[in-house]
Amino acid sequence: MQLKRLGRTGLKVTEICMGTMTFGNQAPEETAHAILDRVLEAGVNFIDTADIYPIPGAVKTAGRTEEVIGRWLKGKRQRVVLATKCGARVGPGPNDEGSSRQHILDAIDASLRRLQTDYVDLYQIHWPDTQTPLEETVLALHDLVRWGKVRYVGCSNFEGWRLCKALWISDRLALSRFESVQPQYNLLSRGIERELLPLCAEESVGVMTYSPLAGGLLSGKYSREQPPPEGTRFALDRPTGPLYRERYWHDRLFDAVERAQELAQSCGVTSVQLAIAWLLQQPLTSVILGATRLEHLEEALKGLDVKLDAATIEALDALAPP
């Protein structure tokens, strides 16, 4: 398990980060705790969550995942680099979402209570908020760093231009800056290669990517001729299920998955291990893995031992070019 610096900071995180979006829903608490125990045993020190989890958009369950993690975290806090996010709607009020100063200050206190800790290592803005000036957001996050409630700040789902603007604001006003960005990235979704990855390399911003298996499509368990099985991510209610079907449920991507399966077979590995190995050979800080069962995690971790040769990487790059 390799350690990498988070962006230009001195904070060291593992090349694998444990994602927790299913904890408290698809993965019940006992399973979630077993998964967290296993990743800690495997040498992973990086855990990512959000105040809206386990189901983005489902306000009635918002915060449940942080509570599950908080109960597990007792006695282990110093062994973990803990990241969470705010910005998604978590309540019925007009200020229960977004990245205004008011919501950020309310959200961090609520997350700290649920996580049963007095600080978060990495606090991220979950989505861009077009109704709030970036200056207001950056200033509020800077105060959280000054007060010791968070150690570093980052963003998620930001476009290259928006991240660049935020960095410029921080530089101009001498404020804490976004030290990381969390975008979607996998063999089937490679848009960040155009602008975001070059920007992060130039400005020394850490990149921690999510959805390594394209919602499970790259595992090969889905068929284009059959609807997604009940309980899977593609079958969930709005907004998650429809969003994933819009992103990935297309014939050209099923064609790419079939070709990836052939390549995996020729390498003597599974499709999951191939997809993880490809990501680990990209210029990233950390790859966020998700799991609903312990066996899913075990298979994904085996991707750490797979090294792809140049010919295989070239063939994979041709499956779904950016």
CB 154 within 8 A of CB 182: yes
Cα–Cα distance list, 293 to 18, 23, 296, 315 (Å)? 13, 10, 5, 31
CB 71 within 8 A of CB 231: no
CB-neighbour burial class of residue 22 (10 A; exposed 0-12, middle 13-18, buried 19+): buried
53 is catalytic: yes
The residue from 53, 152, 244, 248 that is catalytic is 53
Among candidate residues 39, 63, 121, 73, the one with its CA nearest the CA of residue 287: 39
Comparing C-alpha atoms, which of 68, 34, 35 is closest to residue 49? 68
Asked if 283 and 201 touch (Cβ cutoff 8 Å), the reply is yes
How far apart (Å, rounded) are the C-alpha atoms in residues 144 and 274? 40
Q: Which residues contact 178 (CB under 8 A, 6 or more apart)?
A: 153, 154, 155, 158, 163, 166, 167, 170, 205
List the one residue out of 91, 89, 160 whose CA is nearest residue 129. 89
Residue holding tokens 């020394």? Answer: 204
Catalytic annotation, residues: 53
